[in-house]
Every structure is written in C-alpha cells, then in structure tokens.
Structure 1
Amino acid sequence: MVAAATLLTATTLLTPPAAAAGKLPYSDQCTFPNGLYPGRPWSLQRVMLDELWSRSTGEGVRVAVIDTGVDVKNRQLTDAVDVKAGRNLLPRNLKDDNGDPIERGKENGTTDTVGHGTKVAGIIAARPTSGTGFVGLAPEATIIPIQQNDAEGHGDTASLAAAIRHAVQAEAGVINISQDTSNAVKPDPDLEQAVKEALAQKIVVVASAGNDGDGGNVKETYPASYDGVLAVAASDRNNERASFSQSGDFVDVAAPGVDMISTVPQGGHCSDNGTSFSAPYVAGVAALIKARHPDWTARQIVARIEQTAERTIAGHDRLVGWGVVDPVRALTEDDHPIESPNPREGLTQAEAPTPGKFSLGETPDERNARLATYVAVGAAVLAAGLGGTAVAIRDARRRARRVAGAE
C-alpha cells in the first residue's frame, strides 16, 4: 500500500481583502498577504551574514522545492524562481472531502494556497528588500518550484518520486523535501530509487526529520531515513532540540525550526514552527557550499555541513545528529573535501553563533594604548602607596624612641 506523503506543518488560511503587502502592518496571525517583518529574525541574527556572503551567495545553484508550490507574487521571490522549470504534479480533477472541486493551480508550480512551499522557498533564497531584515540564506540561488502536495494531502510517494525525477531533469543542485510519509510507513521502493538517481547526479537531497518527537518519540521517517539523504531536525534559540522535533539515529543535523519567519503568498511574512523550516535552512547552506565548490560530491557537501555543526559531545546523537548547523563555519572551514565527519574535530560548547560586535569609536591600537596607560598609572599608584606606607612606619618608630627617651 502506498502511504500518502503528508505535510509536516498545517497552515490556517485567513485571507484579508487584497492589499499591497508593503502597506499592511505585520501581524503575528498568519494571513495572506501579510505585512513585512520589520526586524532581523533570530535565525539570521545568529549568523554573520556579511562574512557568510563574502564566501558565497549561492549564485548559479538551482534548488528544487518539492512542496505545495511557490507563489512568485511575493516580491522577495519574484526574481528567485525559475518559472519555466516549475511543474505541477498534483492529480487532475481534484476534489475535497465534500466532493467539491479544488483549484489545481498553475502548471508551472507557482500556485500556493497553503503557504508551506512559499515559506520553504523564502528561507532558502528570498532576495533582500527594503522594509525587512528577512532574507534567504542563499540570496542568489534559484528556486525550481515543484507543486506535489496540497492541504488535503493529495501528494503520495508516486508523485514525490516523479517530483524528484523532474528536479534532476531541471538540473537542480539541491533538492528540499519538507514532508514525510504517513505514520512513518516505509514507502514504495520507487521513491528510494528516485533518491538514488538524484544522488548519482551529485545532487544534495535534504529532508525534514518530522514533528512527532514530543515525549521522546523515536521512529524513522521517509524520505529522511534513506541513505544519502541529509535528515534535518529542528533546534531552538538555545541550540537544543525543539520539543516537537523527531529523534532517531537517522537524524544527521539540526537547524533553527522555532518561530521561523519567512515569505508568504501574495506578499509579506509569517512565523511558523517545524522541521519543515529547518530543512530549507540547511538546503540554503548546501547551496552556498555547492556554489563555492561545484566539483564536490553530494556526500562531501553533507560531510562538511556535519563536520562544522555545533555540538557538545564527540560524534553523533539521535537528538540533533552531528549538531546544529553553523553556516559560517561550513563556508570558512572548507579548505579540502571530506567524505565523513571526524567525531573529535570541531567539538564545542554548542553556543549559538553570535554576530560580531561593533567597535564604538576605538581601534585595537587605541585600546592597547589605553590599557598600557592604565598599567603605568596603576604601577605609579602602587609605588606611591608602598612609599607612603614606609614613611608612616618610619615616623611611628621615631615617635616611639622619643617617648622611650623621655621616660
């Protein structure tokens, strides 16, 4: 029996009257469209973006987003999406549970009534724009929109396999799959075969680990559990596993997945939670590495991401895999390719990366001169204090001798 490929994150649609997203105030309630998120999301604050982008911006790398479609009406995605390469693989003549027809959407995969795929695409490659600090990790990568699922879960393992094969034909360098099969059922072997075909073309396949981790639940999910797939769990602001994130030996790394800001259909931003949004964070890092090292294999890119992840124990664990992804380390500690991570290298205290601090009006030379002055003054004060103490002791002895003589 073929298990349906169900979405990891449900989204409630509350669509207000049509309005330009730039004129709407940002709302915590996820509406389409919505206003622009005014600041820099925490998942980007932890990354020194200027240093990251000095190494790579993902230019030339094509990332297939196999999801609910990608809405190009959001201005941060308009220029990020290869519309011609997109595809809608949903069945024709769709109907809801009441038997009413469902709009299938455009054939090029640029219809997204759920918002899930549009959020995923934004985390990977949203272009910078005025009025918001949100931007994709790989802001010059190109998105291939492949609409394969919807709110009713019409996508199945057959359409997922077809979507992977279309991504290969469309010359994707990275494939993001933010969904898994129902009830962790091992799907039809054709899906695994499609994954193998993608890996054989040096394509990095990234998949979300799943959101059934409450209570320590451990189980394999697919396609994340297939060999060669980079399985991504969700981490929180403390670089720890998010409570909902699926655990298991198949988990390779973790990435931010709590309160994730990203693009929504028709314009603006929204916040959501789930490993669905951790996976594209890692897919964005993979795109950056692939642009910088186009000759590296998929395994070498994955190994570099694993090796440079922040972790507190040597080796791998089933909560966050090799640790929480560190984009800057992945792009700076990349002098040579590796085939697998070394458990003893890169061990840290797993503190979340923080942006560089500003120097407020003082250069390093000025700071050194100031410290030297403090040391000199401190030495003089100490010498004066010791000298004063010696004088006081000498005077006290003289007074004592005079008193003794008088007696």
Structure 2
Amino acid sequence: MALTAVGLPVAWAPPAAADMGQCTFPAKPYEGRPWSLKRVLLEELWKNTEGKGVKVAVIDTGVDDDHPQLKGAVDTKLGKNFLPKNPKKDEYGNVPERGAENGTDDTVGHGTKVAGIIAARPADNTGFVGIAPEATIIPIRQNDAAGNGDTGTLAASINYAVEVGADVINISQDTAEPLKPNSALERAVNAALAAGVVVVASAGNDGLGGNVKETYPASYEGVIAVASSDRNNERAPFSQSGDFVDVAAPGVDMISTVPKGGHCADNGTSFSAPYVAGVAALLVAEHPEWKPHQIAAQIMQTAERSVPGHDRHVGWGVVDPVRALTEDDEPIDEPVAREGLDKGEPPTPAKLHFGETTQERNERLGTYVVVGGGVLVSVIAGGSLVYRDWRRRHVAG
C-alpha cells in the first residue's frame, strides 16, 4: 500500500493476552515488587549508574507528569504534542481532547505506563521502579485512543526528539501496513541513528497462531526490535515473530504507572520495548562514547539464550540487564553465537592387544609371587615334618 499524504496509521497495539481487568485512573498502588524486576539484581544493575543525564524520548499517547513517581522524571519544557488540531472521533463518536502542547496529558494511559517502566522514581508505597530511575523522559504525544497518529506524525516526532537532544527513543507502536522504501519514517529513523540516538521499537502483538510479518519501525536496520517474553523466558503467545526481532523482554503482567497515580498491569510488546530502552539508557550513561549499534549489540550479546545464535521468536534471547551492564569492558559491533556445544575432538581408538596388557602382566606376576610364596612355605613346612618323623624313628632305634 502506497503512503498517502497524511501517512499510514500507526497502532499502539492493545494487549492480546489474558484479560487484566479494567484499569481506571487513578488506580491503587502496587505494593510488592513486580516479577519483571524480581529477576534483576537491582543493586548490581545500578552499581555504577542509574541513568542520570540520559534523555529518553517516549513517542506515545503522552506522559502524565502528575504521577508521584514521574514528577521528577518528565522534562515538561522539551515535551511536544504532534496530534492534529482537529482530531478525528473515536469509536464511540467522541472527539478526543488534544491536550497540553508539551505532551503531558495522557487519556489512554499507554504512554504513562511506557514511561514508568523506563524511569519511574522509587517510592515508599510500592516495589515498582523504572529500569533507569534517574533518566529523564521527553514526553511526545503522537497518538490517542482514536488513532489520530500516523507515520507522518511519527516521523515528525522522531525528528523532533533528535532535535532536542534525546539519547534514546522508545516507540511502542507499529504500522498497520507495510511501508515503501525511503519513506519519511525510514528517513527519520536513519537520521536518528546517524545522530547517535539509540532507537527501540516494539515488535507488535499479532503473533498469536504463529503469524509472522514485518512491522515498522521495528523492522528497520539499526532499530532494536523487541518481542515479549513470559516468566519462563519463552515467547509470549501474542508476541510478533520474524527475522527482524532482535531481543525479547518481559511483556506479560507488566506493572507500571498510570495517569493520576497508582499502577495497573498490562500485556504487550509495548511494555517490553521500554524495558530494553531502560537498559539502553543505563548503557548510554555508562558508555556515552558508544555508538547506537554498539549499544544494541551489547544488549543482544548478553541476552539469555536458549539457542547458540538468533531465532525469529526472541531474537538473540531475553534481555539480561545486569549482564549487559557488567560484561561491558569493550564495545562490540555485532552479536555473535557464543553458546551451545563446541565441536569436540573425536575419541582416540583404543589399541588392540593380541597378548596381555602391561597391567594384566603385572597383575599376573603379582599373583605368581603370592601363590609361589605360599607353595614355598608349604614345601618348607612339609619338609620339616618329614625330617622330624625320620629323626624320631632313627633315634628310637
């Protein structure tokens, strides 16, 4: 399908997994530590950095900066709203509010969840926290419940993020239709990468039933395409598969911040991408001189794998945040297969012995010595008895 003047629609892909129940804003705080964070040794992860000074652009449905865990995380001066001045109606016939010009309104809740997974600050009433809790979020509102965002506004949002100095861009959206080469979206992605910006995108939620297709911008070269994994580090059933998938991250029962306070659970690759974006933010803080492809290669190389190399379900494996931040002595340009069985040397054939082996000979000689010694003792003892009897007879006679 050819691009139109306004571009193709983009979808933030509502979850395609188990029903999580209705989430209302505000919500109750989640008191415990979410499973996706329990698997990470956070003190080890943050030993050198928590992402301070790194700017992460969240191109989404907006980010609510009133949430207690996001108040100090959102840069309200750099935020921007790319929704059209006259937005179309939603499925119920309502015209969505365009919201603040700095992108800090979020009537959907999607962007606020994404931002929380990346950079939510610690709070006393919850165990939830962002992967990079000192990073700064640039809120860019580009989509809404009515789907007013398209590839044109997405491309403009990416260009703007680069312009205001983003170090990492998170895009938890994908196109509904394939794009032609050299589209405005592709040019924007390439310009971001050339400017040294790490671009992370969700792979999509249309994988149920084994469906395989390319999604954009995740499929573009240089973008870190993120699939969803479950508690067992296996691909979540809804997660989009394809050769373009680079890595997987937790995407099932994901706890995060929602507008006006509190937390809700959700499913989808939309919430796997920011998990990886948070790791990327930590790596950028730790290695500001590394290029985007080196940040991407580090995340992929240190992922937990079930096969030696790449597969179309989870890419190079499930992201391992601690390993990514601790096995980082030197930058690498691309991931390589590093696990699995090495080809071993063939066993040396045993030599055939037509006689006895050395061990067998030694054992035989030892036996001879023992048996021979016993016989000699018996002979000596027997001879003594014969001599004694002979002497008695002759003395008596």
Residue 314 of structure 1 is matched in structure 2 by 308
CA 1:37–1:186: 2 relative to 1, 3 Å: farther
Following superposition, the deviation at residue 10 of structure 1 comes to 6.1
**Is the CA contact (8 Å cut-off) linking 2:10 and 2:174 kept in structure 1?**
yes
2:12 equivalent in structure 1: 7
CA drift of 1:327 comes to 0.1
1:338–1:185 CA distance, 2 compared to 1 (3 A): same
CA distance in 2, matches of 1:118, 1:294: 26
Matched, 1:83 2:88: no
Equivalent of residue 62 in structure 1, options 29, 37, 55: 55
Residue 247 of structure 2 corresponds to residue 263 of structure 1? no
- 1:289 and 1:156 map into 2 onto residues whose CA distance is 31
Offset of residue 314 of structure 1: 1.1
Other-structure match for 1:228: 222
Q: Is the 8 A contact 1:255 1:325 kept in 2?
A: yes
What is the CA-CA distance between 1:100 and the residue it aligns to?
A: 4.6
- Structure 1 residues 324 and 100, CA gap change in structure 2 (3 angstroms): closer
Deviation, structure 1 residue 344: 1.7
**One-letter identity of the residue aligned with 1:54:** K
| Segment drifting more, 227-236 vs 92-101 | 92-101
Find the aligned partners of 1:209 and 1:201 in 2 and give their Cα distance. 23
The equivalent of 1:386 in structure 2 is none
Are the equivalent residues in 1 in contact too, given 2:15–2:205 (CA < 8 A)? Answer: no
- Mapping of residues 142-291 of structure 1, within 5 Å: 142-186=136-180, 189-291=183-285
What does the per-residue CA deviation read over 1:350-371, in whole Å, with 9 as the maximum and x for residues that have no partner?
xxxxxxxxxxxxxxxxxxxxxx
CA distance in 2, matches of 1:122, 1:100: 28
Please give the alpha-carbon distance, in whole angstroms, between the structure 1 residues aligned to 2:28 and 2:135: 24
Letter in 2 for 1:56: T
Give the TM-score of the pair, scaled to structure 2. Answer: 0.81
CA distance in 2: counterparts of 1:10 and 1:28, whole angstroms:
12
In structure 2, distance between residues paired with 1:278 and 1:79: 23
* Alpha-carbon distance in structure 2 between the residues aligned to 1:10 and 1:45: 22
- Alpha-carbon distance in structure 1 between the residues aligned to 2:255 and 2:202: 17
Amino acid at match of 1:286: A
1:3 alignment partner AA: L
Structure 2 residue aligned with 1:43:
36
Q: Following the alignment from structure 2 to structure 1, what is the Cα–Cα distance between the partners of residues 171 and 235?
A: 20
Q: Per-residue CA shift, 1:231-277, capped at 9, x if unaligned?
A: 00000000000000000000000000000000000000000000000
Q: Which moved more, 1:186-195 or 1:147-156?
A: 186-195
Cα distance in 1 for partners of 2:181, 2:98 equals 25
| C-alpha separation in 2, matches of 1:341 and 1:10 | 30
Aligned mate of 1:116, from 110, 121, 124: 110
**3-state DSSP of counterpart to 1:103:** coil
Alignment of 1:124-143 (within 5 A): 124-143=118-137
**What is the RMSD of the two structures over their aligned residues, measured on CA atoms?**
1.7
**Which of 314, 323, 326 does residue 317 from structure 2 map onto?**
323
Q: Deviation digits for residues 129-148 of structure 1, max 9, x if unmatched?
A: 11100000000000000000
Report how far residue 185 of structure 1 moved.
Answer: 4.8
Structure 2 residue identity aligned to 1:5: V
Q: Secondary structure of 1:300's partner?
A: helix
**1:101, 1:293 → 2: CA distance?**
45
How far is 1:191 from its partner?
0.5
Unaligned runs of 5+ in 1: 12-26, 349-407
Comparing 184-193 and 106-115, the one that deviates more: 184-193
Q: Do structure 1's residue 101 and structure 2's residue 95 form an aligned pair?
A: yes
**8 Å contact from structure 2 (residues 117, 274) kept in 1:** yes
Q: Deviations over 1:28-62 (max 9, x none)?
A: 64110001101000000000001101122011100
Residue 219 of structure 1 contacts residue 247 of structure 1 at CA under 8 Å; is this kept in 2? yes
Q: Give CA deviations for 1:308-335 in whole Å, capped at 9, x if unaligned.
A: 0000211100000000000000000000
Please identify which structure carries the higher helix content.
Answer: 1
Query: 2:96, 2:146 within 8 Å by CA — same for their partners in 1?
Result: no
Give the whole-Å Cα distance in 1 for the aligned partners of 2:137 and 2:325. 21
Provide the aligned length of Structure 1 versus Structure 2. 332
Deviation of 1:336 after TM superposition, in Å, equals 0.3
Counterpart amino acid of 2:313?
Answer: L
Query: What is the alpha-carbon distance in structure 1 between the residues aligned to residue 325 and residue 128 of structure 2?
Result: 21
Runs of 4+ in 1 over 2 A off after TM superposition: 97-102, 183-188
The residue that corresponds to 1:358 in the other structure is none
- Does the aligned pair in 2 maintain the 1:93–1:102 contact within 8 Å? no
In the TM superposition, what is the alpha-carbon distance from 1:99 to its structure 2 partner?
5.8
Give the Cα separation in 2 of the matches to 1:67 and 1:190: 18
Map 1:254-403 to 2 at 5 A: 254-344=248-338
Q: How far 1:341 sits from its partner (Å)?
A: 0.9
Identity of aligned residues (%): 69
State how far apart, in whole Å, the 2-side matches of 1:66 and 1:258 are. Answer: 21
Q: CA deviation at 1:183?
A: 3.9
Equivalent residue number for residue 22 of structure 1: none
Question: What is the CA deviation profile of residues 145-194 of structure 1, one whole-angstrom value per residue up to 9, with x for unaligned ones?
Answer: 00000011000000000000110011000000000001445587111000
Q: Which whole-Å CA distance do the structure 1 matches of 2:283 and 2:276 have between them?
A: 11
**Structure 2: any 5+ residue segments left out of the alignment?**
342-397
Aligned mates of 2:185, 2:217 — CA distance in 1:
8
